[in-house]
Structure 1
Amino acid sequence: MREYIYNTWNGVMDARHNPLKNIPDLHVQHMIMQVLAFMWSIVFGLMIVESVFAFGISAIAHTTLLAAIIVTVTTFDIAENSPYSFLNGYHSVNRTRNYIWSNGVKIKLDKRDPGGEHE
């Protein structure tokens, strides 16, 4: 039963498994999922209370939940790919990207070295 629920959830909510995976642009996939979420908010809001007020509360709750998820995923992504972004003080764009270009050659910087003013 647990596996059935897990697979059903992924079949609807995970863009890697649902039919939206065929849309090449991730932004379009996300937009369509948001439109569907608002549509279901309307349906449930009207079914539960038969009120547009209930939809408003549901829409705000869904938007808040999606925003929190986006902020969390973005923060985790930055922490994984560019941990020095969280250090206090000045860090050049090259340092946050973890590489520099010199004479047309991309040079990877040491992740343990926070860098300095003149890299």
Structure 2
Amino acid sequence: MRLVCKIWLDNNGKAFGDGPYDLLLRVERTGSLSKAAAEIGMSYNKAWRLIRAMEDRLGFPLLESKAGGASGGGSELTAQACQLMRQYKAFKDEAESVLEELYAKHFGCK
């Protein structure tokens, strides 16, 4: 038996969690929401709607986009998105560690 736990932030609906975190990591690496979405098998339209819904719930922009053209378009994370990602990862890592300790305490195994 093992512990399984999902953690997400909620503000009148799911505002941020593992899936969005992964998507933003990929945007940061590729410089493109379209490429990031393709890597996880998500349509660009669905990824764009997900980003907009999160921005509405969080109250700040996550991406700065530039239109395409000869040099192509792209996206980069806002400073607020970078901060959110750092905070989320630190919180999640610490929460998982504490939950593993509690699991071991109450179920006597690791």
TM norm structure 2: 0.30
**Higher relative contact order, structure no. (Cα contacts within 8 Å, ≥ 6 residues apart):** 2
Q: Which has the higher helix share?
A: 1
TM norm structure 1: 0.28
